[in-house]
Amino acid sequence: MQTINSNSIFYAPSPTPNDVNELPRYLRDEFNAIQNAIMQLATGHVDVTNVAPTKPREGDIRLADGVNWNPTGAGKRFVGYRGGSWVDLG
């Protein structure tokens, strides 16, 4: 089963179990992972990002790590994708 990371808003479903008796545990774990991802979004959590998204969309917000990904040249910063480029949000 997938380990739930309470520090991340990322969710990817685990493979379904082959044994039907493991289905209740699988569903509980998946629902907990989904709940955690939604809760992180609802509270405004943003994970640190160390690479530029491959397909950014207008309005995307990231916390650039400032080392591996430093889109504004100002170090670790909140950035937003606007007008075709990443802008410093402070």
Per-residue pLDDT of 34-73, as tens digits, reads 999 899 888 888 889 999 999 999 999 999 999 999 999 9
Contact 61, 78 (CB under 8 A): yes
Predicted confidence band of residue 10 (pLDDT cuts 50, 70, 90): confident
The residues pairing with 85 across neighbouring beta strands, listed in sequence order, are 82
Q: What angle do CA 25, 27, 28 make, to 5 degrees?
A: 65
Q: How far apart are CA 76 and CA 15, in angstroms?
A: 35
Q: How far apart are CA 78 and CA 23, in angstroms?
A: 40
